[in-house]
């Protein structure tokens, strides 16, 4: 089956710094990737839809300037949490869609801002 | 709003028993997927069932899909303590604006299997 690699799996950063999370589709081209955020014991909430070569579409309530998404190629999308604060601490997960709209998920990134 | 809604939210059973979780959704879908998530870990894909399929098996897992009722069920037979995890269904459906398909998750079912 298709593989989506997400890196890093966990990261601890200081408040005010920026963190970049990568999402790669290893064996297929993903025209669309999705970024989710998950709070403890909660479901995954869609943050934004990332389309290769165009601007991401953000869900209501998600700050575009806080969560920068870049989808520069058909196999890579990045999420940058800018000027991170403790309230940004969360579990972030990406998924990638194949041409047939099947979805495959990364293993997630645990972000802790101290 | 959430597209998929799992039921029950929590399920506690003894090892060897079967566990059944349900998922309901609101709009038409292309496919429905079930995932497993261990506490603090990423999602593991369990099984995908397409909208034109009614039942699918994978090992001890059995998934059904009823598009007329907009519901799916996940059955884990002969459960083991290692099956303890949260289980989510995810649907791939069109957005509220009628545009591109976006995937949405239900709240999940927390399964505890007691040894």
Query: Could you tell me if B111 lies within 8 Å of chain A, comparing CB atoms?
Result: no
- B51 has pLDDT over 80: yes
Between chain A and chain B, the number of residue pairs with CB atoms below 8 A apart is 54
The C-alpha angle with vertex A67 and arms to A95 and A61, in degrees rounded to 5, equals: 90
- Where does the pLDDT of residue A18 fall: very low under 50, low under 70, confident under 90, or very high at 90 and above? very high
A80/A31: higher pLDDT: A80
Nearest CA in chain A to B104: A46
DSSP assignment letter at A86:
G
Spell out which residues of chain B touch residue A103, defining contact as CB-CB under 8 Å.
33, 90, 92, 103
CA dist list (Å): A94 to B11, B39, B69: 27, 17, 29
3-state secondary structure of A112: strand
Nearest CA in chain B to A5: B42
A87 phi, psi to nearest 5 deg: -70, -10
Mutate to test the interface with A, among B43, B106, B107 (most CBs of A within 10 A): B43
3-state secondary structure of A91: strand
Contacts of B69 (CB under 8 A, 6+ apart): B24
Residue B82: alpha-carbon gap to chain centroid: 17
- B100 has pLDDT over 90: no
**Closest-CA residue to B3 (of B31, B33, B23):** B23
Query: Could you tell me if B92 lies within 8 Å of chain A, comparing CB atoms?
Result: yes
**Closest-CA residue to B27 (of B98, B110, B109):** B98
Lowest average pLDDT, out of A1-5, A69-73, A87-91, B56-60, goes to: A1-5
Q: Which of B40, B41, B92 sits opposite A101 (nearest CB)?
A: B92
Question: How do residues A74-91 score in pLDDT, each as one tens digit?
Answer: 899 999 999 999 999 999
Mutate to test the interface with A, among B7, B30, B34, B102 (most CBs of A within 10 A): B102
- Where does the pLDDT of residue A97 fall: very low under 50, low under 70, confident under 90, or very high at 90 and above? confident
Contact state of B107 with A36 under an 8 Å Cβ cutoff: no
3-state secondary structure of B91: strand
3-state secondary structure of A59: coil
Contact state of B100 with A49 under an 8 Å Cβ cutoff: yes
- Let me know if A95 is exposed, middle or buried by CB neighbors in 10 A (0-12, 13-18, 19+): buried
Task: Please state, for a pLDDT cut of 90, what percent of chain B lies above it.
Answer: 56
Query: Could you tell me if B41 lies within 8 Å of chain A, comparing CB atoms?
Result: yes
Contacts of A95 (CB under 8 A, 6+ apart): A4, A33, A34, A36, A103, A104, A105, A106, B103
Provide the chain B residues 56-85 that lie in CB contact (below 8 A) with chain A. none
């Amino acid at each position: 089956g298709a593989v989506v690699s997400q890196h890093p799996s966990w990261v601890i950063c200081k408040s005010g710094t920026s963190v970049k999370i990568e999402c790669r589709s290893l064996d297929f081209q993903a025209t669309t990737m999705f970024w989710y955020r998950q709070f403890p014991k909660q479901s995954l909430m869609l943050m934004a839809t990332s389309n290769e070569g165009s601007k991401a579409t953000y869900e209501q309530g998600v700050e575009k300037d806080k969560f920068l998404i870049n989808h520069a190629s058909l196999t890579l999308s990045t999420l940058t949490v800018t000027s991170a604060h403790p309230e940004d601490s969360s579990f972030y997960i990406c998924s990638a869609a194949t041409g047939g709209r099947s979805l495959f998920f990364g293993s997630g990134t645990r972000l802790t801002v101290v | 709003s959430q597209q998929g809604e799992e039921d029950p939210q929590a399920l506690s059973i003894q090892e060897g028993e079967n566990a059944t979780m349900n998922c309901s959704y609101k709009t038409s879908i292309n496919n429905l997927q079930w995932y497993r998530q261990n506490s603090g870990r990423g999602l593991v894909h369990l099984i995908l069932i397409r909208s034109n399929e009614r039942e699918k098996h994978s090992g001890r897992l059995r998934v059904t899909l009823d598009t007329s009722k907009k519901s799916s069920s996940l059955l884990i037979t002969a459960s083991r303590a290692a099956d303890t995890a949260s289980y989510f269904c995810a649907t791939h459906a069109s957005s509220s604006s009628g545009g591109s398909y976006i995937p949405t998750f239900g709240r999940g079912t927390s399964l505890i299997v007691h040894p």
